[in-house]
Each structure stands twice: as structure tokens, then as C-alpha cells.
Structure 1
């Protein structure tokens, strides 16, 4: 599970993941014969809260249906939506240097109203409904709109917090004010805070839990098929890379 979490139209490709792209791999993973556990290799700075929730919900449904333990193994980052997905696992392990947490919600954008004035461009918009031009980037920031956006983000944050509480429970050791502030920690610090259960990596955990004879079946998200590969490389992939770099930059990666 690698990349920014985002809904994408079929064929756009790029380093993103969503519920649709992961569904085939997840379904196959839980149907494997002689299955002892499903390991989620997570390396994501986050993204869409809806897609994060859908992925996590599917993992839980499959885990309960097949009565199989799930272990999340965080690599470089399991932050924001990446951590949301990790919480679907029964246990979370990470590297000592992983970035873990960032339990918060963010909205970003740009304002172009002054740019239009400098260019001498007149924008004409007609709406029916007083909120149809909500957060218009071509108008000055509206305090009322900003406050409504904060209310929306606060509601989404509560959903995130409730999910973490339901999955981590008494294992959380830090104060909620700090844990749910949007702050992120190194893997070792995350273990101390109860956000993760131990230090480790996927192959090491398989060896420790199931022995040297354990067989690992590696499954990945669905990739676009030919002839969409070239199209994806020329369009969506470039934007996805920029999106992921921006998300990882917020974590110092």
C-alpha cells in the first residue's frame, strides 16, 4: 500500500491508491490457502479521508469474515490516511525511523483574485444557491466560508479520532490533546505513545512469528493495462508524483 490516497479516474495511474485499486489484491490476499496472516506493507503520507475509510473498512470486513489476523508494517510513513489504514490491523509495527501519526485533517488551496486584477481579467459567475460559490479561489477569502470549512474539517477530525480510539483503545498512552493534534512521531516515539505496537519490518515479523519455512505471497494494487500505460505516464502520473512529494514534504520526507 504505497503512495498518496486519492480517488482517481480509471487509467490515470501514478503513485496513488484507493479502495477500487486495492480491492482485487485485498480480496485475493484473504482467499489464499493455508493463510496464517495478512501483512499490510504501508508507505503513505495520507490523502483522502473517504478512501482511507473505505480501504480500512474493507480490511476489517475481510479479516472478520475469514478470521485472519492482520499486521500493519509501516515503512517510511504511515501518516494521516496512511495511519487510518494501519489502524485497521490488529497490530502495527514500524521502523524506528518511520514517520507515524498525523491524526488530523487539512485543506489547502490558492487565491487568485489579485492575479486576475493584475491581468485585467473580468470573471463572470452566475449561481442559483447562496453556497454554490463556496471557497471560490478567484474571490477574496470569506470569513464565513473559512469558518464553515473549519467546522467541516472538525467533523472529519472527530471521525478520525473515533476510529483510532475504537482500534487502539487502551493501547494509547499519550494524552489525546497531543495524539490528535496532527503531530507525527518517529516509529520509536510512536510505540512509546501507543500508536504502534513494536519496532520491526515485514520480513522480520514473518520470520519471528511464523518461522523460516513461512511462504510470503506478495500482492500489489491493480495497475493500468495497455494501452493506458503510456497515457497514464503522460498525464496523471506526473501530477500524482507532485501530489505525493507535497504530502511527504509536510512530514519532512
Structure 2
């Protein structure tokens, strides 16, 4: 019996190098990370329209991108800066005809949620904190302390209400009433924006939703505060394919940050350090309110 000739095994030819180099890839999605306390303060790590706008403009300039993605991770802060950032997001989205996907990490609370509602969709981790649709004003009173120290307070004003809520003077009912009214005015703006952006999605009554309370995104999903539960990479891969490319748009940082020197160089550095410490403490207060 004659044995069958061995089957010839041929090597599968590799694709030419130039075809491998220029292989087809998925779309590129620009991503802007909005992380930190919202404040007009220009210190690093703070969110405001001045620091955020250049990043947003660069992200929306990606003509071929099907969407712009925003990562929001903020406990809140300035109502004005929150409103300005949200409005700018919508202006750029409308001008460039782009959808905006917002992905929540640890928190989109208070002003952070205000910004998140500028998105066409809000996607959050089930354990993310969302909501806190309210307004807060805080301060300190040192009336008893100043008396115990034997210090006399000298204050001269033009205008009877110029010293409103001075921490070294006894609290006045009329001052508190004015602050309360200001809070209600700002709260109305917040509520109006959330309703304008998500009116058809909200599933609970106003007296439950706009109390300043915050929830996990797991509960927020059922309330209509978020559109779905998930993360950025999984969501983008599911929608645009496994070859989707993510381009993080971030501020450029210099290689070296040189300290300022001069006759009072040490004083400047000490003042900067003290400012950084106070900013960190303030930031910690915002985050700790959410248990984070």
C-alpha cells in the first residue's frame, strides 16, 4: 500500500508592513477631565471657566469625533462658575453639532451635578455620588472668643448693611433673612437648569429631588438623575468598537516650575504654602461632606 504524500504546509504570508502600520482603527474620542472643587480661585486643581474653557474648545475642535466625553469628579463649589461651565459646554456642543457624554467617577454633586446635566447623557458608576441639588452658605462666629481675649472690634461702614454677617458681631435676623433669600434665588436657577435639561427623565417629585440630598448613582438611576450605570471605557467600546481611541485633553505643564525669588522671596513662598494649605482644607471639607 502506497503511503499518501505528506500534505504541504505553507506559511501564511504576513500583511505588508505598510498595511500593518496603517491598519484600520476606531474613531478618536476627545475626553476632558473636570475634577476638583469648583471655584473662581486659579490655584491648581480648581475648576472654573477660565481653566476649563481652553480644554473644552480643543475637545470640540475634533471634527471627526462622533461625541465629546467629559469625566466629572467634583463635590461642587461656586454656583456661578458651575453655571458658566455648563453653559459653555452647551454652546460648544450646539455650535459643533456634537453629542456630549458625561461619565461620573466618585461624585457629581451640587455644582458638579450642575455641570453634569450639560451632557446629553450621564453615565455613572453604581457607587458614584450624585445629586445634592441645593445651596449652602457657611461661616463662623467669633463674638464670644473676641470678648474672652479682651479685643475691641472697631468697624466703620458706609451703608447700614455693609457689615452683613461680620463674624465678630452678633448675628442679626435680618442678615440671615437676606442670605436665605439669596440662597433661594440661586437654588431656583439650579432647579430650573436641571429641569430644562432633564425634565422628561426625572421620575420623582420636586420636594424629594431638590432638597439638597445626595444619593448613590444606583438610586439616582431610578430617580432619573443619571441615564445609565457604567464606565467610560466599557461604554465607548460597546458603542464605537473595541478599536476606539481615547484622547485626553489636558493642560500643558512646564518641565520645571521655578520658585519666585527676590528680596521677599521667602515671604512669597511662605504665603503660597499657607494658601495651598488653606485650599486643601477647604477642598477636604467639600469632599468629606459626601463621605469621600
Same fold by TM-score greater than 0.5: yes
Distance in 2, Cα, partners of 1:44 & 1:145:
30
- Structure 1, residues 145-197: CA drift from partner, whole Å, max 9, x if none? 00110010001000000000000011000111010000111011000000000
Q: Find out whether 1:226 has 2:257 as its counterpart.
A: yes
Unpaired segments ≥5 residues, structure 1: none
**Residue 153 of structure 2: aligned partner:** 123
2:190 corresponds, among 160, 164, 173, to: 160
- Supply the RMSD in Å over aligned alpha carbons: 1.9
Number of residues paired by the alignment? 250
Secondary structure, aligned partner of 1:171: coil
Q: Distance in 2 between matches of 1:221 and 1:168?
A: 31
Q: Distance in 2 between matches of 1:240 and 1:86?
A: 24
Sort the Cα spacing of 1:222 and 1:134 in 2 relative to 1 into closer, same or farther, 3 A. farther
- Give the corresponding residue for 1:7: 40
Alignment of 1:1-253 (within 5 A): 1-9=34-42, 12-13=43-44, 15-221=45-251, 226-227=257-258, 234-253=273-292
Computing the radius of gyration over CA atoms, which structure comes out larger, 1 or 2?
2
Cα 1:222–1:114 change in 2 (3 A) is: farther
The alpha-carbon deviation at position 220 of structure 1 amounts to: 2.7
- Where 1:38 maps in the other structure, the secondary structure is strand
Question: Could you tell me the TM-score, scaled by structure 2's length?
Answer: 0.82
Q: Which has the higher contact order (CA 8 A, sep 6+)?
A: 1
How does the TM-score come out when normalised to structure 1? 0.94
* Alpha carbons of structure 1 residues 3 and 57: separation in structure 2 relative to 1, 3 Å: same
- Name the CA distance, whole Å, in 1 between partners of 2:251 and 2:223: 31
